[in-house]
Structure formats: C-alpha cells, structure tokens
Structure 1
Amino acid sequence: MGYKCSPSKNEDVMNNANYSVNYVSWGGCAYSVRFFSKTPPDLRGAGCPLPCTPMVCVVLCSILAEWCLLSRGWDSSLGSQEAGTPSRGSHLRAPLTRSFPKHLTNTSQPAGAVPGGREVTTVTWCSSRCAPHPAGAFLIPYTLMAVFGGVPLFYMELALGQFHRTGAIPIWKRICPIFKGIGFAICIIGLYVSFYYNTIIAWALYYFYSSFSGTLPWASCDNPWNTPDCTNYFGKSNVTWTNFSRSPAEEFYTRKVLEIQKSGGLYDIGGIRWQLLLCLFLIFTIVYFSLWKGVKTSGKVVWVTATLPYIVLLILLIRGATLPGAWRGVVFYLRPDWGKLLSTAVWVDAAAQIFFSLGPGFGVLLALASYNHFHNNCYRDALVTSAVNCLTSFLSGFVIFTVLGYMAEMRDVEVEDVARDKGPSLLFITYPEAIANMVGSTFFAIIFFLMMITLGLDSTFGGLEAVITAVMDEYPQVLAGRRELFVLGLITVCFLGSLSTLTYGGAYVVKLLEEFGAGCSILAVVLLETIAVSWFYGIQRFSHDVKAMLGFTPGLFWKLCWVAISPALLAFIVISSLLDQPPLTFFDYQYPEWSISVGFLIGASSFICIPLYMVYKLVWTPGSLKQRLAVCIRPEKTTRAPQAEGVGMAPVL
C-alpha cells in the first residue's frame, strides 16, 4: 500500500485550489478525501510511496491527512468561507475532529471532518471499556450501533450545525423551541465530564513525570509505599500469586498516586493530594491558554495534539506485535463468543464506544460544524470520518490486546483473566506494568503517557469549546468581546468542581461521575434530540435544509434511521441500562446504596433541564394551550442563519 498527495483537477471555488489526499490500497482500490485551502502548497509530484501493513495503514493515512491540513494552516472545522460571509471561526480551534472526548474526545468529545484525536482515544479509555468483550462477538453490536445509530446521528448533527450556524442552546429556536432544554442539558453534562476527565489527565501527567527515571517506580516492590503483599512475578518462576497479592504497578497507582489507603470510602474521602492539585492546575492552565483566543492559540497546539497520538499509536502497535505471547491476545481479541450477544453489557458498551468516540449529543459537532462553509459537504465528512474512526478503533484493539497477551504469557494465566480489568485499572496498572518489563521501558512509558495527555487535552478542548460556543451564542449581548473572561470563569468552575476528585478518595468520586454524569443521561439526551429533529422539526424540512446545502436530499436509509431505527436503538439501550444496573465497585470497594442514589440525581440533574424548560416555555408563552403548543414547536424564522434566509421553510410532513 502507498499514499500520495496530489491536486484535484476540479476547482470549485475561485482562488481556492481543491486538493485531494489519495490513499491507494491493495488490489487497486482507492479512496480520496478532498480538502479546501486558500493558500495550499504546490504538491505536484509529491508522490511518497510508503510500504506498510494492513494493521497500520489507517494510522499512517490519518497522520498524512492531519499533516496535509496543518501544513497548509487549514482549519477543517471552518471549511472555506463564502465571499462576503463573516467567519464564525475567530474563536474556534482546529480541526473539526477535536471533540476526544474522547473523545475524545475524546473526550471528549470531538469529532468532525477529517481523522483526528478522538478516534485514537479509543486506544486508551474506550478500548479499556471494551477489553472484557472479545471483538469476534463485540464487532456485531458495535457495527450495528455504528451503522444505524452513530453514523446517522453524526451526519444529522453536522448538518444541523452547518445549516443553522449556532451553538447547542440557541439552535433550538431554529428547530423546535420547546426542546431548548436539550442545549442546557448538554452544557451541564459537559461540565460534569470536565470535573472528572481532567483529573484522569492529571493522573497521566503524574505518571509522565514519574517516568523520567532510570528504573520506573512501579517496576519493583522496593519502594516506601509497597506492602508485604506486593508480588513481582515477572522473570520469576517460583512466585506464588494469591488472592491477597498485589503487583508493583497496582500499589504504585493506589498507594502512591492516589494514596487511597488514607480514605475510608465516600464517607471519608480525606484531604486533597497537593501533587495531583498541581498537575490539575497545570492541565487547566494549558486548556485556558489554548482556548482563550480560540484558533489563534489552539491552532498551534493542535500541531502536537493531532499528530503525536498517531505516531505513538504506531510505535506501540509495532512494539506490542513483537512481544512474547502477543498472539494469544490477538486470538482472544478476534475469537467469536456468540453467548456474549445475549448480554446487555455488550450492547451498552458498544453504544458507549460509538457515541463517545463519534461524539453526538455532546454539542461538539453542533458547535464546530456551525463554523463550516454553508455548502461544505458534511455528508462526505460524516462518512469518511466515521469510517476512519471505526477502523482506527478496531486496529487500536491490537495495541491493547497484544499487551494483554504478553501479560497473560508472563503471568501464566488466560487472557480473559487479564482482560477483566477495565477503565483506570487497564490504563494505569495493566498497561504500565507491561511497559515496565519491556526493553526500553522508560521510553515507552514516556510516550504512552504523553499520548494519553495529548489525547485528553484534545477531548477537553472540544468539550469545553462546545459549552463556550453554546453559551456565548445564547447571550451575545453580555459576552460579546469578553471571551477571555468567560473562558477564565468557566475554567475556574471546572477546576473547583474537580477538587473532590483530587482527595485521597477522589478515585471513588471519579468512578461515580463517570458512571452517572455522562453515561445514560447523554444517551437519553441524544434520543430526545433525534425525536425533536425527526418528528417535530420534520424529516422533510430537515431533508430540505440538507438539499439547500449539498444539492441533494438524504436517501431513504438516512431518513429511516433518523425517524425510527436510531430512536428505537437508543430507547432500547437507555431502558436496558436503567433496568440492568450492575453493582458499582472500585477494586474491592462496594459503593453504598446512598451513593447510587446520588449518582442517579447527578444524571437526572442534567436531563431535568428538558422538562423544566418545556414547562417554562408553555407558561410564559401567551395564548390558549393549543396556541402555546403551536408556537412552542414551530421554528422561529426570524432567528435563522443569514446563509439560510434564502432557503424556504419546507412543511413538517
């Protein structure tokens, strides 16, 4: 396989060359992603053949796409601006893929028009959620959720944001005013995510700092924080592993990083770990100075956060494939286990993987797509990004499971015994433990935790940008020209809200917020968002808007997904997850019943904004009840975006 950058023959915009990044695959198949730039470099003759394997081709293509965009200073979240149209990108970071949240986000988060950080976030957080499920069976619900849920809703949010050109709160005036509470719910969920997600980045920063040593501190049991239960079985054949045994990596995480032994649980979370406080302060400082001026500052940061994770992913993939026992992890990863399909947890994890990697419901897609060129091909963006995202998610599983196979080989146990760990246990215990016993452990530890930090920052950028855009668009008279102060206030709120996660029992709080702050509630918000757009705004009206932007109407498949299939899948997942709540545990700690009630209150506190705003809207709208309902569900034409003024309002049905 090889790749090359070449100029396209078609020129759609005067003075704006249309360039393609062509990926030529085995068997002569090829696909290309087209980009626009006002000042592209001359790429003629820049053919650069590079041999690679199927497992790394998507990673290499993604790196190339990011490089081609960044080297031209192109902002994929902005697209090309229409002549005479003021840019909405003056305070937006680039590119559109930054949601990590992770994505990333991630994470966080963000997703968008070209491959980026959120797909790679699956190497860490999302892959850890899916580690207990062999991919042979997991791929079935994962694919179904992607095809009938994730991708259609990704496409829908890109189209909504691009057409109406505003954030997650005021956009509902232009869709269905009575559902404006969805925008407030999205912002509250974004705050909850920032309360715990940045603490996880702070943990990674602490590990990153600790990695700068000749011998990694979690490689042996000869440290002051170790207990008599510490057992290092690597390279030793006469070591007996019992139920009370603890690895050096586990004790470093629990007794050194968290110092969780000083907490009695949620009843007594203890004082604040000042080392973690400093790490979190540094993280939020980076976030603030990356967002306060928007693309002016974050456009420089994205050079690192967009490309470095792919490079590290490739290095870890190659290293993992050369480890003894790696094949055991690959076999476990690809082995079908059809009985797993009967487990609700598999379907819920598949939905979580899709929605947290693609990002619908977090407001990131709405916010970032609102800066796109009005006629940007968001349909192509949705398909290309989702495809690369899912392929990278699948390939990133090899990074995780080759190491799990290596761990199983060293422990002389089955891979499923190692793969039971998920979440922080996999990221901060299992994987670091494997790294500590590799040749060149310091190097691999540094790049691994550096990747986690950059991925986390990427998702945080996108998640907070969604909140910033939504609030500033909702209150332009108050916040216009005061972005720096508003971002400072928002970062301060997020920092103060994270203090409880920095205590000795902070890991218990992180687990609680992760489980309830953005779990079922975000899926319920996406469900109502889909219903509001498809049933109340009207699928015909929405299709009319898409045709005004792209020149063609969405096909029958997309309409069926938006109207029926996606809402049905989301309703099934929400109801199943509510009815089948497994006991909440963290290591050996069993969460008390009152904490579960608190968790449900946290989840409900965001979702409750939707019915509360409905009541508020109906009460304050004049007229009879029938007249009020008619006004509350009818889009306010006076609030439409300037580019949409010439587009007629299609009927609902």
Structure 2
Amino acid sequence: MKTIERQIEERGYWGSKAEFILAVAGNVVGLGNVWRFPYLCYKYGGGMRCVPYLMFVATCGVPLFLLETAMGQYTQEGGITCWRRLCPLAEGHSGVLLHVLHHHSGLGTLLPHLLFQFPTSMGQCSLLRRVLALSGGIEEVGKINWEILLCVVAMWIICYFCIWKGVKSTGKVVYFTATFPYVMLLVLLFRGLTLPGALQEVVFYLYPEPSLLADSQVWMEAGAQIVFSYSLSVGTLTVLSSYNKYNNNCYRDCFWLCLLNSGTSLVTGFAVFSVLGFMAHEQGVPIEEVAESGPGLAFIAYPQAVAMMPFPQLWAVCFFIMIILLGLDTHFVAVEAVVTSMMDLFPAVLRRAGRREIFLLFFCLACFMGQLFMVTEGGMYVFQLFDNYACSGACLLLLSVFESLAMGWIFGAERMFDAIEDITNSRPNYIFMLCWKYLTPLVSMVSFVCSVVEYEPLTFNRWYVYPDWAYALGWLLALSSILLVPGWAMGRLLAGKGSLKQRWLHLCNPDTNLPLSNKQRAGMKETVSTTEIKDLVRLNVEEREN
C-alpha cells in the first residue's frame, strides 16, 4: 500500500500568483467580449444597457465568481470531487463541464476559418462560400473541408502541448496567450480612434435609449452576457482556483478579475465600433448595415473594415491573431477543467508518472473525432445549434440557481463565509451572503423564465430556418445540461441506503475531512476545555467521596 501511495503524484500549484491571474483572465476574457458585448450595447441602447449589466454584475457575476473560486481553493479539488465534498446532493452540477467542452470544441472549428481570410477582400460572400463552403442546410452534411480540418488538427496539437504538463505548462503559456490580445487590443483601439468617422460611431455606440429598459430582452441578454463572460456555473473557475495555495486571497482576486473582464468588454466596444464607424463613413451607409451579432461582427464586418485601411494585410493578421488567442485560451482551459476533474476523481489511476499525458492524448483525439461534423459543409449549422442550445445563457442561468441554492442553503452561506475568512483572514461583505441565499437565485430564475417565455426558434444568418428535428435535438441538448443536477440528486436518493430522511441528510452533509475554519477550531477547543473541566470536577468529587 505504501508503494502505491508513493507512485501517486501531487496535484501541484501555480508557480506564481501571476500565472493564476493570467489563466483566469485568459479564460473569462474571450470572444464574447470582442463581438457580443459591443453589439448588444449598440442594439439595446448603448449606455442604458449598463443599467441591467451592472445589476447582474452585482447580484450574480461577482457573488458567483467569488463562490466558485473559493470552492476550488477551499477543497483543492476539481469540478466533480469539489461538489462531492461540499454538497453531494448537487454533484450532478459538475456534468455541465462536458457540455461546455463540446461548445468550445465547436468554437475551435470556427477559429481556423479566419486563417483563410487574410489575403482576400474578406467579404461575407468569401466567408460563406469559399472559406466555410456552406451547404444548403444542416440536413446536407456535405464533404469535409480539408483545409479547415488540417487547421483543427493544428489547433488540437497546440492545445495538447499547452496543458500536457498541467499547471506547469499552462502557467507558462498564459504569459503569452493572455497578454498578447491586450497589446493588440490597445493597438487596434488607438488605430481605430484615429480613423475618419470613428468618434461619431463611438458616440452612437454609447448613446442611451432609456425606453429600451422596458424591453425584457435587454435584461435577459445582460444576464446571459454575465454568465458567459464571467464563465459562471461551468466549473472552470473552480478548477483553476484549486491550484492556488490555501491562503491565497481569493476575495481580492475576485474583484480585480471581475473589473478586468467588464473593463475589457467596454474597451473592446470602443475598438470595434471605432473601426465600424470608419467603415460606415467610407461606404456612406448607416452603421445598422455593417453591425451584426456574433460571428458577423468579428468575422465579416471587421475584415471588411481592415481591408480599407492602409496595410490591410498587417491589420488583418494582427486582429485575427488576437481573435485566435482569445478563443484558444478559453478552449484549452475548458479541456484542462475536464482533465483535472477526471484526475481528481481517479487519482490512483491517472495521477501517476506519464498517465496524464496519455489520458490527455486520448481525450483530445476523442474530442477531435466528435467534432468532425463541424468541419463539413454543413458544420456551421451544427456549430450554431450547439452554441444556442447545448450550453445557452438560459441553461447557465438555471444552473446558477441550482448552484447558489446548494451552497447558500444546503452547505450553508455562513459556513462558506467561515471558510473564506479562514483562507483570506478577512470576512466577506454581508451582501455576498444575501446574494447567495436570495438575490442570485431570484434574479437568475426570473431571467431564465423570461428566456423561455420569449424563446424564438433559431435561424442561421436570418434566412435559413432549421428543420423540426434539429430544434428537437437542440432542446434535448439543453435539457441534458439542465436536468443533470435534479436527475443526479434523484438518482442518489433512490439508490442510497437507509430511510429517505437518512439518505437526504447524508447527501446534504459535506465531507468530514474538509479543512476546519477558525470558528470550528475555536469551538473544538471550547468543547475540549469543557470536557477537561468536567473530568477534573468528576475526579475531585470521587476523591472526596473516597
């Protein structure tokens, strides 16, 4: 037994605080900051959209960000075993990791499409017909695009070597992958603001439309943006923070990283819309004709704009390197989250010399094979189906409800406060307890219900309507992530031993081997002291009687 224990390797820690900060920054600051936030600000009233955005930041974003980073650091465990130790009843929440990985794997097939746009005029026709070679619909799979396939192979190879040694390699890679996009963003921001027509469109981007606050869609989009851009309820924050030393100040890190994320979204809006303003100025058309959502904004409108700049090839390369790194960071962190969670689940098997590299190799190969459909002529239709259903904003909002209820009520917000105080030597503001128990689940549930009520069938590029079976598949994908938590809880309750009450209490109690907080240690000392006093009194009484 001792020989086996010696063979199991340690989990390890981040080499420095900077590695953790950069890894989390690379994960939370992604493609959504580049294309989604600026577009939504333009669509829903610019400055007025900051009202629902800031409300969700205060009630959901920051509280859940702190909760998830504290959970990982407190338990020193990955996504699955962390929930098992804190709240076994909600262990099904960890299953969403696989859905997030499928989403980012699909995103990985989208990134190589950019590489073929540099030397061209980069118009929409070029993207849809030559680069993506789109078929007539999802029912027409078509042939594999071999150029895209080779790029996807290259992407998975890069991903493998970024994380093959765990935090030892990831911590070094993020010094480049997380910082280069910020350098390019500042360069593009400066270049964009100096273009003709840029300032007028920046003002248009921020111009408030108070009447739009009455639109429920504004609030739903703000909630979805927060859970996506903050990487909430998907387990990656828990995994990344589990490699911190126990006494790292996660409370302070939470505020700085949330500020960095939201600040990046705002600055990116200036960069993107200054260039879109230049494009509208040059073409003499309103900005409504050049601003589109999602890939349309980043992969169609922006290439058209940089093609009209001096040295267009240089600007195109710079922008798309930034886009690729933003996507790559988020992608390999999602893979690392799954691999770490599996290694923590089976440490005796996987945490041995050379086992991680082999497991990661087979895992990457399996993911690559699973996404071959997305490199076909109908692949973009499949990607958008996954993007809108498998791990949509509505699904993550409901998972946020489960998460906050499980930790706020079953594990206990007070107990979590004691853990954070033990970690950081400072007690969090009481507003976080209020959010975990009441505000976060309430706001998230209302947003989820509104999302379901306001549901509109998915279309591609405003002209292609998916067949009914595709919508049914999409809803199955959505339900598979939503029902994981209650389904797992029900299964454990039915499969457990003892009475229903005993099974419930067993699943609601955390692991007894969790680190003791200062309050728990003080309580144990008082108990021991009281017991010792009682023993002394009893001995004195016995001596007198004798």
TM-score normalised to the size of structure 2?
Answer: 0.88
Of the candidates 456, 468, 486, which is equivalent to residue 339 of structure 2?
468
1:175-186 to 2 correspondences below 5 Å: 175-184=86-95, 186=96
Distance (Å, rounded) in 1 between the aligned partners of 2:215 and 2:141: 34
Of the candidates 495, 512, 520, which is equivalent to residue 620 of structure 1?
495
Distance (Å, rounded) in 2 between the aligned partners of 1:354 and 1:615: 30
> Does the CA contact (< 8 Å) of 1:166 and 1:370 recur in 2?
yes
> Does the CA contact (< 8 Å) of 1:189 and 1:522 recur in 2?
no
Q: 2:19: which partner in 1?
A: 95
- The 3-state SS of whatever aligns with 2:366 is helix
1:195 Cα deviation after fit: 2.9
Of the candidates 446, 464, 473, which is equivalent to residue 598 of structure 1?
473
Q: How many residues in Structure 1 have an aligned counterpart in Structure 2? A: 511
Distance (Å, rounded) in 2 between the aligned partners of 1:491 and 1:134: 42
Q: 2:505: which partner in 1?
A: 630
Q: 1:396: which partner in 2?
A: 268
- The 3-state SS of whatever aligns with 2:498 is coil
> Does the CA contact (< 8 Å) of 1:435 and 1:445 recur in 2?
yes
1:443-482 to 2 correspondences below 5 Å: 443-481=314-352, 482=355
Distance (Å, rounded) in 1 between the aligned partners of 2:455 and 2:279: 30
Q: 1:434: which partner in 2?
A: 305
1:518 aligns with 2:399: no
1:140-159 to 2 correspondences below 5 Å: 140-159=51-70
Q: 2:128: which partner in 1?
A: 254
For residues 509 and 173 of structure 1, do their structure 2 counterparts lie closer, same or farther at Cα, with a shift above 3 Å needed? Answer: same
1:97 Cα deviation after fit: 4.2
- CA deviation string 1:366-398 (max 9, x = no partner): 011111121111111011111122122111110
- The 3-state SS of whatever aligns with 2:179 is helix
- CA deviation string 1:253-286 (max 9, x = no partner): 00111111xx120111211111100011100110
> Does the CA contact (< 8 Å) of 1:120 and 1:310 recur in 2?
no
- The 3-state SS of whatever aligns with 1:264 is coil
1:166 Cα deviation after fit: 0.5
Q: 1:373: which partner in 2?
A: 245
Distance (Å, rounded) in 2 between the aligned partners of 1:197 and 1:91: 29
Instruction: Flag structure 2 segments of 5+ consecutive residues without an equivalent.
Output: 1-8, 524-546
1:119 Cα deviation after fit: 6.3
For residues 298 and 174 of structure 1, do their structure 2 counterparts lie closer, same or farther at Cα, with a shift above 3 Å needed? Answer: closer
Q: 1:163 is aligned with what amino acid?
A: Y
> Does the CA contact (< 8 Å) of 1:329 and 1:405 recur in 2?
yes
Of the candidates 450, 456, 471, which is equivalent to residue 576 of structure 1?
450
1:297 Cα deviation after fit: 2.9
Of the candidates 353, 359, 379, which is equivalent to residue 506 of structure 1?
379
For residues 637 and 487 of structure 1, do their structure 2 counterparts lie closer, same or farther at Cα, with a shift above 3 Å needed? Answer: same
Identity %: 36
1:27-46 to 2 correspondences below 5 Å: none
Distance (Å, rounded) in 2 between the aligned partners of 1:257 and 1:650: 65
For residues 644 and 367 of structure 1, do their structure 2 counterparts lie closer, same or farther at Cα, with a shift above 3 Å needed? Answer: farther
> Does the CA contact (< 8 Å) of 1:136 and 1:334 recur in 2?
yes
1:133 Cα deviation after fit: 3.0
Q: 1:24: which partner in 2?
A: none
For residues 256 and 613 of structure 1, do their structure 2 counterparts lie closer, same or farther at Cα, with a shift above 3 Å needed? Answer: same
Distance (Å, rounded) in 2 between the aligned partners of 1:513 and 1:364: 19
Q: 2:428: which partner in 1?
A: 554
Q: 1:172: which partner in 2?
A: 83
Q: 2:209: which partner in 1?
A: 337
Answer 1 or 2: which has greater helix percent.
Answer: 2
Instruction: Flag structure 1 segments of 5+ consecutive residues without an equivalent.
Output: 1-84, 112-117, 220-248
- CA deviation string 1:162-205 (max 9, x = no partner): 11110111112222111110112x22222221331111222233
Q: 1:407 is aligned with what amino acid?
A: M
1:212-223 to 2 correspondences below 5 Å: 216-218=119-121
> Does the CA contact (< 8 Å) of 1:92 and 1:465 recur in 2?
no
1:299 aligns with 2:171: yes
1:474 Cα deviation after fit: 1.2
Q: 1:81: which partner in 2?
A: none
- The 3-state SS of whatever aligns with 1:469 is helix
> Does the CA contact (< 8 Å) of 2:139 and 2:378 recur in 1?
no
For residues 647 and 497 of structure 1, do their structure 2 counterparts lie closer, same or farther at Cα, with a shift above 3 Å needed? Answer: farther
- The 3-state SS of whatever aligns with 1:635 is coil
1:162 aligns with 2:73: yes
Q: 1:270: which partner in 2?
A: 142
> Does the CA contact (< 8 Å) of 1:141 and 1:346 recur in 2?
yes
Q: 2:436 is aligned with what amino acid?
A: W
For residues 385 and 650 of structure 1, do their structure 2 counterparts lie closer, same or farther at Cα, with a shift above 3 Å needed? Answer: farther
For residues 131 and 510 of structure 1, do their structure 2 counterparts lie closer, same or farther at Cα, with a shift above 3 Å needed? Answer: farther
RMSD of equivalent CA atoms: 2.4
TM-score normalised to the size of structure 1?
Answer: 0.74
Q: 1:431 is aligned with what amino acid?
A: Y
For residues 650 and 617 of structure 1, do their structure 2 counterparts lie closer, same or farther at Cα, with a shift above 3 Å needed? Answer: farther
Of the candidates 422, 425, 428, which is equivalent to residue 296 of structure 2?
425
1:363 aligns with 2:274: no
Distance (Å, rounded) in 2 between the aligned partners of 1:147 and 1:135: 19
1:646 Cα deviation after fit: 7.6
Q: 2:498 is aligned with what amino acid?
A: G
Q: 2:104: which partner in 1?
A: 194
**Bigger radius of gyration, 1 or 2?**
2
